[in-house]
Chains A and B, each alone.
Chain A
Amino acid sequence: MVFFFQNLVNALQWGSFYALIALGYSMVYGILMLFNFAHGDIFMVGAYIGFGVATGLTMLAAAGTLAIPNWMILVLTIIISMFLTSFVGILVERVGYRPLRDAPRASAAITGLMIGIMLETGNLILLGAQRVRFPTLIDSATYNIGGVFVTNKKIMIVIVSIGLMIALHQFVQRTKYGMAMRAMAFDYVVIPLMGVPINLIAAMTFAIGSALAAAAGILFGVAYPVLDPYMGIVFGWKAFVAAILGGRGSILGATLAGFLLGFIEIFVAMIFPSTLRDLIAYSIILVILAVRPHGFFGEPYSAKLRL
């Protein structure tokens, strides 16, 4: 039982990352019908921006210019990096996707791959192949709850992730811009006629998705403090799986599917030899998709789809 709960805790942390990144995929896919394959690399860029901001703030704090405790630095790092990374997202949309909005979908998907490679190699040139260590901002404290080991980092990661997801949900459901996003997902052609600025909404979608990816990147840096320029690739693919599994454009779906993916990966490794982890985990997903081809909350093909 202890073993089960320990894995549950592990899976919650791991699933948080998938969920946060899947949200970005899902939003862009839902609203613009684009596979933004650069999203995994935006996650990487977010982590590196977080690394830069955290290092800078730590230095300022150490020099005495900024008298703030470490946890404050972490909060500031998350906020500043989310802000900065959202501009990376806007730039990607402006340069990579807007010119191709009426192009075949495949071309836009290729753009994503190319931008991803550009971000990876750009980082490689800028910082070199050397891996960097994310600064330690909160001292790790481990709590032993009846044999289950939980760290303060794990708790923080899960709480911050879920908090961000709720905030996003509120934004999309309750604000005017949120409504515009939902409307755009509903019908791309009619919306401009209603006076909705689609370029603004598209940029905003990318900005929010990238900000979430940046948050995921920093939380990742806190939990797994070794960053390298290629860290986003496989992670991005898997989060993409979660986004599709959740259903097109569904925030709740992407969140749940992200956590589910984390759970499947962790529990498969718990029961079967760990060598077979990905093989079995993704076979399970294949079966789920075979039963529900539109994901958990996706709707079958209808007038909404413009493909």
Chain B
Amino acid sequence: MRRAGIVLLTCFVVCLFCSSGVWAKSKVIKIGINAPMTGDIPKVGEGTKYAAQMWLEDVNAAGGIKVGDKRFPVELVIEDNEAKAESAVKANTKMITNEEVLAIVGPQSSKQAVPAGDVANNWKTPMISPWSTNPDTTMDREYVFRGCFLDPFQGPVVANFITEEFGYAKAAVLYDVASDYPKGLAEFFKKAWEDLHGKGSVVAYESFTTKDADFSSQLTKIIRSGAEVLFAPQYYNEIALIVQQAHELGWKNPIVGSDSWGSAETVKLCGKECYGLFFSTHYAAAGATGATKDFIDRYNKKYGYIPDDVGALTWDSLRIVQKAIEDCGSLTGNIEKDRKCVRDALAKIKEFDGITGKMTFTEDGDPIKCAVIVRISDKGEYEFYKSVCP
């Protein structure tokens, strides 16, 4: 009944568009931004907005997006999702039905991106979430894409990196069994490592529970197992303790982490113990080159701080949308058709050269892209070390 209602409503709205020809008259491309401007993570919203404004400046300086032989001016519609799932759904619905946006960039966190993606897909509006790593965001949703890699991808990335960089064959994993992210990542890493080195090559697979502070018995076991490297996909508070205790128990080999290490808190809590360690993440500000460096410098000059991964991924997502619109060839003025056209162009994008790496979308709308390996330098900065591709 509800579904029928939606279909009817869609038909009605479509008819409205057809009859009035709003699109044909306005000739402005509207891009929706669904971001947490207020709520728990306003910094994420701010990064999104700043990156989007920088992009808009570029586009309008060039006279708009060139589709076929015509240039269309661009307008941004920024909606606040308050870092809440229901507000993100509302924001998407509003942008799609009222504002008639051609495509949506956002929401950032999976918590909002998963439900909002459903709305975008039902309304057949292309949406790209720059930052959401949960597989459900794009799963079975033709119209939903993302700008970053997924959790299942980081496992193989780290496994490959360790194998190539150090040539080790025996690994240990220490993770929090009570937290979804570390638990998932530990499993993905184990699988990837065993694919590379055969069964039993993860010689120690140890866990603890959230709030534990003493890891000595797990670490003693890991050291005895003869592991050559330790993978710890943990958050900053645990990393400081794990690394220190491992060193105190005589562990001298590398400890490698995942994108959860990327917080500035890691180095603050861990201090010198963490210097020289590696982790995988989306992008590294220190030591960036080329277009990435240009972006960072411009952003820093304009807003007074180094952009984090959200800013960089938003920038890339917007440029992908721009590319898809350009690839479309021509805009008919029929929003339904144009959205479909943009979606098809998005799915066809190959080797897009973004500041967070080259991307090609899979059938699910997830990019195949390289991850960045960051080394914590001797000054405690996150330094670009190398990029690892799947």
Contact = CB atoms under 8 A, between A and B. Distances in A.
Nearest to A14: B214
Interface stretch (A3-11, A70-78, A182-190, A247-255): A3-11
- The secondary structure that dominates the B interface is helix
Interface string B236-260: 1100110011011110000000000
A13 B213 CA distance: 12
A226 B215 CA distance: 14
Interface stretch (A24-32, A98-106, A270-278): A270-278
A11 B217 CA distance: 8
A144 B250 contact: yes
A14 B216 CA distance: 9
Nearest to A234: B211
A275 B211 CA distance: 14
Interface string A50-88: 000000000000000000000000000000000000000
A274 B207 contact: yes
Contacts of A130: 265
Interface residues of B, number: 28
B268 A10 contact: no
B269 A226 contact: yes
A149 B237 contact: no
A136 interface: yes
Nearest to A150: B248
B298 to A, nearest CB: 30
Interface string B189-231: 0000000000000000011110101101110110010000000
A274 B177 CA distance: 10
A7 B240 contact: no
Contact of B248 (A136, A142, A230): A142
Interface in B269-299: 269, 271
A6 B220 contact: yes
Contacts of A226: 213, 237, 240-241, 269
Given A131-B265, A149-B250, A269 B217 contact: yes
B54 to A, nearest CB: 30
Given A131-B237, A220-B213, A224-B214, A3 B250 contact: no
Contacts of B248: 140, 142, 149, 151, 153-154
Contacts of A273: 206-207
A131 B269 contact: yes
A265 B212 CA distance: 12
Given A6-B249, A228-B237, A275 B220 contact: no
B137 to A, nearest CB: 27
Contacts of A133: 240, 268-269, 271
B249 to A, nearest CB: 5
A133 B269 CA distance: 5
A231 interface: yes
A278 B210 CA distance: 12
A10 B224 CA distance: 14
A133 B248 CA distance: 18
B213 A3 contact: no
B265 A224 contact: no
Contacts of B250: 142, 144, 149
A48 to B, nearest CB: 15
A28 B272 CA distance: 41
A278 B265 CA distance: 29
Contacts of B207: 273-275
Contacts of B245: 224
A136 B268 CA distance: 13
Given A136-B271, A226-B237, A269 B218 contact: yes
Interface in B99-135: none
Contacts of A131: 236-237, 265, 269
Contacts of A225: 240-241, 244, 269
Given A6-B249, A7-B220, A230-B211, 15 more contacts: A7-B216, A133-B240, A136-B271, A142-B247, A142-B248, A153-B248, A154-B248, A224-B241, A224-B245, A226-B241, A269-B221, A273-B206, A273-B207, A274-B217, A275-B207
Interface of A: 3, 6-7, 10-11, 13-14, 130-131, 133, 136, 140, 142, 144, 149, 151, 153-154, 220, 224-226, 228, 230-231, 233-234, 265-267, 269-270, 273-275, 277-278
Interface of B: 177, 206-209, 211, 213-214, 216-218, 220-221, 224, 236-237, 240-241, 244-245, 247-250, 265, 268-269, 271
The 3 closest A-B pairs by CB, nearest first: A10-B216, A269-B217, A149-B250
25 contacts: A6-B249, A7-B216, A7-B220, A11-B217, A131-B269, A133-B269, A140-B244, A140-B248, A142-B248, A144-B250, A149-B248, A149-B249, A226-B241, A226-B269, A228-B237, A230-B211, A231-B213, A265-B217, A267-B217, A269-B218, A270-B220, A273-B207, A274-B206, A274-B208, A275-B207
